[in-house]
A and B are shown apart, each in its own frame.
Chain A
């Protein structure tokens, strides 16, 4: 595979000497994995960005995802399923990190989480990002599993180990908010069009 600067970005053999069978296969495996990276890094990053709501976390999550994929690459039996497999790894990494961060129990001391208001320029998030953040981590993950991973309610419930009814009620609310947001967007666009 060629880099943008035209140089080969993978050289079989460690010292440029004769390539033996194992190294040739390593080279072939590496090239195949690089194709995965090229084909799917955008989808993985976008998914990670929507899950985490943060470009930095999305970058980290994407790297973790491909590390996991490389480590467990023999678990994937069909290359056709690579995208879904990578997205599932991304989501699992995100949920794992979420569980690790979440405290077992706590009480507040008077501070409340409220919407951030910037005091400097830059870092503005779009409307959808704000809406997703407002859903909460779990509902957001379910919504993304539905629309991005294209899992049914039953599959989401099985993946998360929760009742289908819970998925149904959470997604019903989340979808309702998305619909309302889309309708507002359309109205706004129409007003702009008329203006």
Chain B
């Protein structure tokens, strides 16, 4: 076998995930046969070792200790909702010691309308009892850095009183927005963004999102930014059902000045 043929097999091997030796027998017998050679065997062992190391690193994530308990609680809520809403027999899960349900399902004959009611009821129940963890400053900061990219130069409009009523600017900022725009963010599809920059000063944007989720945030802007990126500083707060994110061009000092009304907002 030539060197280029070996290289070709190595490339083909690259397309298979670790632990797929059995599948190769049926899916790529030629490659499987190459693995039986000395060069192929060596390549396969390296491939497996590398894959195992990467998979182990990827799996190195702490799991919340109460996650299973919370999931089981949601399941019970769902089940109770189903029993209360529907007197049909529930759908069992497949199990190794149980025959496939597909045949029996045909005999029983689910009524489509009942399924819709069942699914809708389950979704409502899940939604009602679902208690996602509150969103923290990390998620808000990471998300907000991408929001600026949603703005277009044509999207700005005049700030009107009705807009300020719907999405008020916190008084402590002591700034009057020059213009505003609406962007879709992770938290509100109609997030208001105010441009608080001075005429020639560095950029300062205030996002106001009406949020229907919980946030683990203070009800005032932090005196120090939650994050700085080297070029920008971000701080966030949650007040009166609204998420506020202040994004300032500059460092932490510029952020602090903005809050005191002497920086770009002043």
A128:B50 contact, CB within 8 angstroms: no
Give Cα A154 to B20, complex, Å: 13
B17:A150 contact, CB within 8 angstroms: yes
Contact with A along B117-144 (1 / 0, CB 8 A): 0010011001000101111101101100
Give Cα A29 to B57, complex, Å: 34
A128:B57 contact, CB within 8 angstroms: yes
Q: How many residues of B contact A (CB 8 A)?
A: 89
Task: Please name all residues of chain B whose beta carbon is closer than 8 Å to the beta carbon of A23 when the two chains form the complex.
Answer: 83
A63:B130 contact, CB within 8 angstroms: yes
Task: Please name all residues of chain A whose beta carbon is closer than 8 Å to the beta carbon of B61 when the two chains form the complex.
Answer: 45-46, 49-50, 58
Task: Please name all residues of chain B whose beta carbon is closer than 8 Å to the beta carbon of A109 when the two chains form the complex.
Answer: 148, 151-153, 203
Within 8 A of B (CB), among A3-18: 3-4, 9-10, 14
Q: How many residues of A contact B (CB 8 A)?
A: 84
Task: Please name all residues of chain B whose beta carbon is closer than 8 Å to the beta carbon of A110 when the two chains form the complex.
Answer: 203
B151:A106 contact, CB within 8 angstroms: yes
Give Cα A108 to B63, complex, Å: 37
A168 to nearest B CB, angstroms?
7
Q: Mark the stretch among A31-39, A87-95, A187-195 that contacts chain B.
A: A31-39
A62:B20 contact, CB within 8 angstroms: no
Cβ contact of A54, chosen from B14, B17, B142, cutoff 8 A: B142
Residue of A nearest to B152 (CB): A107
- Tally inter-chain residue pairs, CB-CB below 8 A: 223
B17:A34 contact, CB within 8 angstroms: no
Task: Please name all residues of chain B whose beta carbon is closer than 8 Å to the beta carbon of A117 when the two chains form the complex.
Answer: 227-230
Cβ contact of A111, chosen from B96, B126, B134, B148, cutoff 8 A: B148
Within 8 A of B (CB), among A66-123: 66-67, 70-71, 73-74, 76-80, 101, 103, 106-120, 123
Give Cα A107 to B156, complex, Å: 13
Task: Please name all residues of chain A whose beta carbon is closer than 8 Å to the beta carbon of B112 when the two chains form the complex.
Answer: none
Give Cα A118 to B228, complex, Å: 6
Give Cα A43 to B68, complex, Å: 12
Interface secondary structure of A, over-half rule: helix
Cβ of B252 within 8 Å of any chain A Cβ, yes or no, is: yes
Cβ of B84 within 8 Å of any chain A Cβ, yes or no, is: yes
Cβ of A152 within 8 Å of any chain B Cβ, yes or no, is: yes
Task: Please name all residues of chain A whose beta carbon is closer than 8 Å to the beta carbon of B252 when the two chains form the complex.
Answer: 119
B17:A151 contact, CB within 8 angstroms: yes
Give Cα A116 to B231, complex, Å: 10
Cβ contact of A32, chosen from B73, B88, B95, B232, cutoff 8 A: B95
A2 to nearest B CB, angstroms?
11
B17:A79 contact, CB within 8 angstroms: no
B63:A179 contact, CB within 8 angstroms: no
Residue of B nearest to A3 (CB): B69
Which residues of A approach B to under 8 Å, CB–CB? 1, 3-4, 9-10, 14, 21-23, 25-26, 28-30, 32-34, 36-38, 41-43, 45-46, 49-50, 53-60, 62-63, 66-67, 70-71, 73-74, 76-80, 101, 103, 106-120, 123, 126, 128, 144, 146-154, 168, 172, 175, 178-179, 182
Q: List 30 A-B contacts (CB under 8 A).
A: A22-B87, A26-B82, A26-B90, A30-B75, A30-B76, A32-B93, A41-B68, A41-B71, A43-B59, A53-B142, A59-B133, A63-B74, A63-B132, A67-B74, A70-B122, A79-B93, A101-B184, A103-B149, A106-B149, A106-B150, A110-B203, A113-B145, A117-B227, A119-B225, A119-B227, A119-B233, A128-B60, A147-B18, A148-B55, A148-B58
List 14 other contacts, CB 8 Å, given A21-B89, A26-B83, A101-B186.
A1-B72, A26-B79, A32-B92, A33-B75, A49-B61, A66-B75, A71-B123, A103-B149, A113-B145, A114-B145, A116-B142, A119-B228, A147-B54, A182-B53
